[in-house]
Amino acid sequence: MKQLNNRTVLVTGAGSGIGASTARLLAKAGAHVCCADLQHSAAEATARSVAEQGCRASSHALDVREEPQWETVIEQILRVHGSLGILVNCAGISAASALAETPLAEWRRVLATNLDGAFLATKHGVRAMRQAGGVIVHIGSASGIRPSAGAAAYSTSKAGVGMLVRAGAKECRDAGLPVRICAVSPASVRTPIWRSMPFFQDLMAKTGSEQAAFEALEQGGGGQLAQPEDVARAVAFLVSDDARHINGVELIVDGGFLL
């Protein structure tokens, strides 16, 4: 299927996990994918993997917390491609500490990436799309709907993303702008973000590998973890014309976790 032929897509956090899977899937659908990541080398690696499958991609360095970098990347995309039709904001970080023990610096670090980054993605995405139209999709989390103990900063940031999506979608709709804004909110996904969490590091040391640690999580009552591709497929639907009348929603991809 080539639903996205001649569409230009920007994917943040494209260096790994959900972002990398989303970039590859949207490229297969015919888009030119601009892969952006804090680590430019990681974005370049994803762009190379897209090119190796016979699709089109480029890479950009982007710290989603920094507005001047957003301005630079968007300007480059518009100059080279003429328009930006889709923006998928996958960049995000986590932290695991009890609320009463969470340093203010850690709280601010998580919200700066997950919520400030989503705000800047929305702001500059809408500016780039308000004439020709487009779609913005953020990666939220089931933890922003049902809080996760020991991850207050992460849960709060993702809850904020859900409201940002609804507020942004309503604002665009009320202003008559041809821009849809949605979110895909998964439960646990097998991505590198787990490696930053002390309890998961301990679990890897105990079980002997990352794969074994994920299996231990599942066996411990967490249910089957999603693969990044499961989330990417939901994103691909929301950015397609099949979802043209879907706006301001938070699509939950959690295998029933929130039931």
57 token code pair: 């991609």
Position with higher pLDDT, 196 vs 66: 66
At 210-220, the pLDDT tens digits run 888 788 777 76
Average pLDDT over residues 2-6: 83
For residues 3 and 80, the answer to whether their CB atoms sit within 8 Å is no
The residue type found at 118 is A
Distance CA(137)–CA(89), nearest Å, equals 6
Does the pLDDT at position 2 exceed 90? no
Position with higher pLDDT, 43 vs 192: 43
pLDDT score recorded for residue 36: 98
At 132-186, the pLDDT tens digits run 999 999 999 999 999 988 899 999 999 999 999 999 999 999 999 999 999 999 9
Residue 154 is among the residues annotated as catalytic for this protein: yes
58 token code pair: 């480029």
C-alpha distance from residue 254 to each of 66, 125, 166, 231, 249 (Å) = 31, 27, 20, 9, 15
Answer whether residue 16 is part of any domain. Answer: yes
Same structural domain, 209 and 127:
no
pLDDT score recorded for residue 46: 98
111 token code pair: 């919200």
Answer whether residue 258 is part of any domain. Answer: no
pLDDT score recorded for residue 173: 98
Q: What is the mean pLDDT of the chain?
A: 93
pLDDT level of residue 1 (50, 70, 90 thresholds): low
Position with higher pLDDT, 64 vs 215: 64
CATH number at residue 165: 3.40.50.720
Same structural domain, 199 and 76:
no
Same structural domain, 151 and 201:
no
Answer whether residue 1 is part of any domain. Answer: no
50 token code pair: 């897209």
Position with higher pLDDT, 96 vs 179: 179
Domain count of the fold of the chain: 2
Same structural domain, 184 and 201:
no
* Run of H or E including 17: helix 17-28
Which candidate in 70, 154, 200, 257 is catalytic? 154
Question: Could you list the residue range(s) of the whole structural domain that residue 220 is in?
Answer: 194-225
Percent of the chain whose predicted confidence (pLDDT) is above 90:
77
pLDDT score recorded for residue 221: 61
pLDDT level of residue 222 (50, 70, 90 thresholds): low
